[in-house]
Amino acid sequence: MQLKVYLFEDLALKASLQPLTQHRKVAELWAGTSSLESKWPNLVSSPNEADIQVNSGVLPLPATFTLLDQIPEDTSYVNQGQILAKRGQGSQTQEINLPYLQHPEDLLSYQAEFLREEIKGNNPAAGNNTFIRAEDIYIHPSAQVQGSILDASTGPIYIGKDVILAIGTLIQGPASFLQGSSTNLGAKIRPNTTIGKGCKVGGEINHCIFFPFSNKAHEGYLGNSIVGSFSNLGALTNGSNLRNDIQTVSLYDYVLQEPRNTGLKSLGQIIGDYVTTGVGTNLNTGTVIGSHCNVSSIGFPPRYIPSFSFGEYPALRSFDFEKAFTSACSWIELKNQKIPENLRQSMEEIWKEGTSFRN
């Protein structure tokens, strides 16, 4: 990518990517080994400094960079009326198909491509581990890997700075563990998974993205799912990712305010920020949980749980705002992070938007 790029937010897109965008911009979503905005070369912070302006939902992949470097002067790239990029005034339009986010589950669709593109192995010495296809494995010198099996025959594996893999950890690539993340004993990590910065995971995880500072530290299965930041899935929390009738999965859509058929047969849960689940909670296929929820259930709770929901299903009620704020701060401090100055304001906005759903 040779041209200087400024990323602009599309508010309609931000709304459609909820709950993942309730506390962050579209550009701050995660996939592969980093956030979307960090993947852009020559990124600038002002449109006045940029050669081109790009919708932050456009995915930063090599094919994208090639097409954007070729954008003519005074031209907009559009797709079905949506402006994806423009150079100058962009008065001339050109219909073009760029990889572009439209819904939360789209991040999962591009996981394998991002991981395979971004991970370059450094052929680490196995030590007391078993490495399959070590040339496609990267392990940072500060990482601690003991008694684990890493299989990169199906895709590359990235083990970042200060990562700790406990004994018995099994990883199938492509997969990435980002800075300061860790596993519990015997964790099973299957392909197309990103474990974000500061996360701790255990049990079985397949084709998932964990945003920074969340936990699923104990036994339980999660597949084809995205978990926001500062969330904690209790022991034996399980998520279904396949309907019993093998039909396509519907997912609650914040814009439509009703379920939307995703066309996907494998899709688990989309979980917002600051969500906690109780021990033994079971989540149905295609469940969406908004931010700042504290839920538990022996049976399956609803497939859409609004933000600021609290309690054991079926007795869910509104989470007291001050208690939710205190809980969020506690999780941030537990992860040794600084509480954002705008946290309360951001939470108040989410609270107001979801009032009708909680009532």
**Tokens matching residue 207:** 């084709």
Q: CB of 3 within 8 A of CB of 41?
A: no
pLDDT in tens, 172-205: 999 999 999 999 999 999 999 999 999 999 999 9
Query: What is the arithmetic mean of pLDDT over 258-282?
Result: 97
Residue 25 is predicted with a pLDDT of 97
Residue 207 is predicted with a pLDDT of 98
The Cα–Cα gap between 199 and 197 comes to 6
pLDDT in tens, 51-84: 999 999 999 999 999 999 999 999 999 998 899 9
pLDDT in tens, 91-130: 899 999 899 999 999 999 999 999 999 999 999 999 999 9
The Cα–Cα gap between 186 and 8 comes to 43
Q: Go through the domains of the chain in sequence order and give each one's CATH number.
A: 5-100 (no CATH), 112-358 (2.160.10.10)
Strands 82-87 and 52-55: antiparallel
The Cα–Cα gap between 306 and 212 comes to 22
pLDDT in tens, 131-173: 999 999 999 999 999 999 999 999 999 999 999 999 999 999 9
Could you tell me the pTM of the whole model? 0.96
Q: For the chain, what's the residue count?
A: 359
Inform me whether the pLDDT recorded for 347 exceeds 70: yes
Q: Write the CA distances from 126 to 58, 137, 175, 187, 347, integer angstroms.
A: 39, 10, 18, 19, 46
**Dihedral, CA of residue 294, residue 344, residue 270 and residue 251, to nearest 10:** 100
Query: What is the arithmetic mean of pLDDT over 327-338?
Result: 97
Q: Is the peptide bond before 19 cis (omega within 30 degrees of 0)?
A: yes
pLDDT in tens, 285-312: 999 999 999 999 888 999 999 999 999 9
Q: Rounded to 5 degrees, what angle do the CA atoms 256, 287, 21 make?
A: 60
204 contact partners, CB below 8 Å, separation of at least 6: 188, 190, 220, 221, 222, 223
The Cα–Cα gap between 150 and 183 comes to 13
Q: What is the pLDDT confidence band of residue 24, given thresholds at 50, 70 and 90?
A: very high
AA identity, residue 197: K
The Cα–Cα gap between 226 and 143 comes to 25
